[in-house]
Amino acid sequence: MKTTIFSATEKESLLSSRRDFLRHSALAGSGLILGSFWSIGANAELTISKSKDIGFTPSAFINIANDGSVTLISKQPEIGQGIKTSLPMVIAEELEVNWKDVKIVQGDLNPVYGEQWAGGSQSTPINYNEFLKLGAVARTMLIEAAALSWKVPASECIAANSVVTHQPSKRQLTYGALAAKAATLAVPDAKTVKLKDPAHYKLLGTRIGGVDNAGIVSGKPLFGIDVKLPGMLYAIYEKSPAFGGKVVKANLDAVKALPGVHDAFIIEGTSNLNGLMPGVAIVAVSTWAAFSARKQLKVTWDEGNVVNESWDDFSAKAQAHSKLAGASVMRKDGDLVAAFSAASKTVEAAYSYPFISHASIEPQNCTAWFKPTEGTMELWVPTQNPAAGQNIVASVLNIPKEKITLHMTRSGGGFGRRLSADYVIEAAAIAQRVNAPVKLTWSREDDMRHDHYRAGGFHLLRGAVDAKGKLSAWHNHFVTFANRVVRDGKSVLQPGSGANLSGDEFPGRWVENCLLEQTPLECGIPMGPWRAPGSNVFAWVFQSFIDELAHAAGRDPLAFRLEILGDKEIIPGTGERGQPFNVARMKKVLREVAIKSGWGKRKFAKGQGQGIAFHFSHRGYIAEVAEVTVSQDGKLTVDRVVVVTDIGSQIVNLSGAENQVQGSVIDGLSTLMFPELDIQRGRIVQSNFHEYPLLRMPDTPAKVEVHLLKTDFPVTGLGEPALPPLAPAVCNAIFAATGKRVRQLPLSRSDLRWS
């Protein structure tokens, strides 16, 4: 496979004709360029052009050059989920192009590409069908060009391996030879173009290595932190250790006098937790000089009101939940009092989990170049949401959007953190004060202490089973965290991302007698989406408590779950984003994971056990079984994890899909076992990985078995849905092995010793 990574100079050349192309859509020069000018997912109106450049402009997805090379734009941010490889594969499949001829170029932020963001495992479902059409339209035009050249019916011609063949005569023309001719043809309506039968796919469903793999293992500069520009300066940005604090004064003159320091200044910032926070910028000739000068920086802070907040205080308030005012009823069905009175068994439990950091390996960074004479801002960003970066720079710095260019670099992890754009506006605000390109680099301590965290939470649960061992009542009082924001001119409490309990959360609508309540605790801690927002903790709580009820009823945990799901095939409106919940799909993955894992087929010794869990999130139906060994002194070993997924009718890249599931299992286990953040005096106590450990290689499961079902449903993503069931499957296995129930995260807080 030949993958071309363009240098900054080459990329500038490729982009130079953007405005002319958009104005004229000229038909001149050499090669076929096929692009889209519709928001991906809407009705397709395709436009073609030819360019004097061999390369591809950002206003098109496909370029076939006269030498036969094919350049495809990857428009979505690449954060390690493999989308830079998989989405071009979709085009290439329908295009019938030889993958070794394909070059992938990362597209910059451009409205002609439609939606450009990576989050919620949405990149594949949003783009899949339209990308198939895009490839099919190009293939159809190439076949038509060949038919016209040979003066034969197009129906007698087929395309394969970057070549069109006239079947009766066996004559052939390469795509390169046909590019100029195809560029002169009218574009067919995408709705009328015939797509391939998936049974004949040659590329989709196979294992294709990531297009950047060779560059990553050889250390090529692909990431935001690698960006280098002529005359570039380097910056750090010191913010208040307590969230929301403001600068009173700083020893700027002393810092400016230090070796290598170019400038130092205060930025007033805004009051928005997700915006430009107040701070002190140091700009120097190198990252080392900037970091060294920071050690000499002395700032007096007005730490504000958040300094009074602590985790211990939050915990005390949560424990006094019955006295808290302002609880919202998210769902209320049946008669809870009567159900509990008539119950054969009742169980009460309190589950809790802490705030945690995203801890992506590449800390936040952004390179910004403001050119005052032109009034333009150019940004190089490892981002999940480029439009958010452009929008915040435009609004805070009063720069028109059309004067802001944003280049997407590869990201060294994201997990939801890079959906925010605080680090982008910091870099841009610094660059606006400096007449040179500036790279802002956060330290690991910055990254951990100024994250947009996964919110902590407390679930106070009661459940009941009747005389037949059936779940008869469910009560969940969820104590969550919320920031105070102004909305429509009113001050309101807004729960953190993933910290809002839906009335449709399983098993709410499945239980005849159900009460779901939510109490927000106001805090000044910034919160943001963390991989599989909400689901990553809700699955642990709900699937663990369901397990408690199954054991209380003396029932097999699998049979208990299948009974709760019931016989209705579809439960409308119970999935995330209003998606219907397909009961039949969930029951199928549950039964399949039981078969693949040998559920209940063997007897485990004391200290060993199996646990099962499932969850629906991000359109994916996932069930997992974990097998564990817990030594008498409490050491946990996860021996085996079996995962069954239903993410629709087609696996795009088998290698990437397996990688995503295996990564989700490891990430889920790491998050279960170790990470937690303490909050004292309105600040995060932990600073780096020595205080915030993550899973190491010896602790990973010995076996992770991945089973990807192909079903008759739309294709969906896989970056997130395999993570939520891991924690409850492991914790349920721990109970089976030891009789000890884990109700507090992280697992390192639990004593698993047994005798």
| pLDDT tens string 429-441 | 999 999 899 999 9
What are the residue ranges of CATH 3.30.365.10 in the chain? 8-217, 224-304+364-441, 311-356+453-749
> Span 344-355, mean pLDDT?
98
Q: How would DSSP label each residue in 600-622?
A: TSSPPPTTEEEEEEEEEETTEEE
Tell me the C-alpha distance between 135 and 328, whole Å: 49
> Span 99-109, mean pLDDT?
94
> What's the one-letter identity of residue 135?
G
Lowest mean pLDDT among 277-281, 487-491, 637-641: 487-491
Please determine, for residue 736, whether its predicted confidence score (pLDDT) is greater than 50: yes
> Span 256-277, mean pLDDT?
92
Fold assignment, 311-356+453-749: Aldehyde Oxidoreductase; domain 4 (3.30.365)
> Span 413-431, mean pLDDT?
97
pLDDT of residue 55: 29
Between 2 and 307, where is the model more confident?
307
What H or E segment, with its residue span, contains residue 237? strand 233-239
Please determine, for residue 93, whether its predicted confidence score (pLDDT) is greater than 90: yes
Q: Nearest CA to 528 among 665, 414, 380?
A: 414
Lowest mean pLDDT among 56-60, 377-381, 407-411, 515-519: 56-60
| Start-to-end Cα distance in the chain | 57
Please determine, for residue 48, whether its predicted confidence score (pLDDT) is greater than 90: no
- What's the per-residue H, E or C state across 6-20? CCHHHHHHHHCCHHH
Each residue's pLDDT tens digit, 708-726? 999 999 999 999 999 999 9
Please determine, for residue 335, whether its predicted confidence score (pLDDT) is greater than 60: yes
pLDDT of residue 322: 59
User: CB of 462 within 8 A of CB of 513?
Assistant: no
CA angle, 751 then 752 then 755, to 5°: 115
Using alpha carbons, list the distances in angstroms from residue 264 to 247, 337, 443: 13, 64, 18
Q: Nearest CA to 211 among 197, 222, 198?
A: 222
User: CB of 78 within 8 A of CB of 84?
Assistant: yes
pLDDT of residue 575: 59
Tell me the C-alpha distance between 348 and 224, whole Å: 49
User: CB of 134 within 8 A of CB of 73?
Assistant: no
Each residue's pLDDT tens digit, 231-251? 999 999 999 999 999 999 999
Q: Which residues contact 92 (CB under 8 A, 6 or more apart)?
A: 70, 72, 99, 102, 135, 203
pLDDT of residue 577: 59
pLDDT of residue 569: 85
What six digits make up the tokens of 703? 């076996």
pLDDT of residue 321: 67
Band the pLDDT of 53: cuts 50, 70, 90: very low
Lowest mean pLDDT among 9-13, 58-62, 227-231: 9-13
Each residue's pLDDT tens digit, 386-408? 999 999 999 999 999 999 999 99
Band the pLDDT of 272: cuts 50, 70, 90: confident
Using alpha carbons, list the distances in angstroms from residue 603 to 105, 297, 521, 600, 612: 53, 63, 45, 8, 16
Band the pLDDT of 32: cuts 50, 70, 90: low
Q: Which residues contact 286 (CB under 8 A, 6 or more apart)?
A: 234, 260
Q: Nearest CA to 159 among 207, 208, 194?
A: 194
Q: 3-class SS at 322?
A: helix
Please determine, for residue 8, whether its predicted confidence score (pLDDT) is greater than 60: no
pLDDT of residue 31: 66
pLDDT of residue 20: 35
Band the pLDDT of 18: cuts 50, 70, 90: very low
pLDDT of residue 44: 28
Tell me the C-alpha distance between 66 and 456, whole Å: 57
Band the pLDDT of 67: cuts 50, 70, 90: confident
Each residue's pLDDT tens digit, 688-701? 999 999 999 999 99
Please determine, for residue 1, whether its predicted confidence score (pLDDT) is greater than 90: no
Q: How would DSSP label each residue in 11-51?
A: HHHHHTTHHHHHHH--B-SEEEEEEE-S-BTB---EEEEEE
Tell me the C-alpha distance between 361 and 369, whole Å: 25
pLDDT of residue 189: 86
User: CB of 229 within 8 A of CB of 166?
Assistant: no
Fold assignment, 224-304+364-441: Aldehyde Oxidoreductase; domain 4 (3.30.365)
Q: Phi then psi for 672, rounded to 5 degrees?
A: -65, -40
Using alpha carbons, list the distances in angstroms from residue 730 to 32, 409, 624, 695: 53, 36, 9, 15
CB crowding 170-192: b at 16 or more within 10 Å, else e? eeebbbbbbbbbbbeeebeebee
Characterize the bridge pairing of strands 679-680 and 636-646.
unpaired
Please state, rounded to an integer, the average pLDDT across all residues of the chain.
Answer: 91
Please determine, for residue 64, whether its predicted confidence score (pLDDT) is greater than 60: yes
pLDDT of residue 608: 98
Using alpha carbons, list the distances in angstroms from residue 637 to 353, 644, 659, 747: 22, 21, 21, 12
Tell me the C-alpha distance between 351 and 592, whole Å: 29
Q: Which residues contact 743 (CB under 8 A, 6 or more apart)?
A: 349, 350, 351, 352, 544
> Span 85-90, mean pLDDT?
98
Region 8-217: CATH code: 3.30.365.10
User: CB of 534 within 8 A of CB of 498?
Assistant: yes
- Residue whose structure tokens are 């915030």: 692
Band the pLDDT of 147: cuts 50, 70, 90: very high
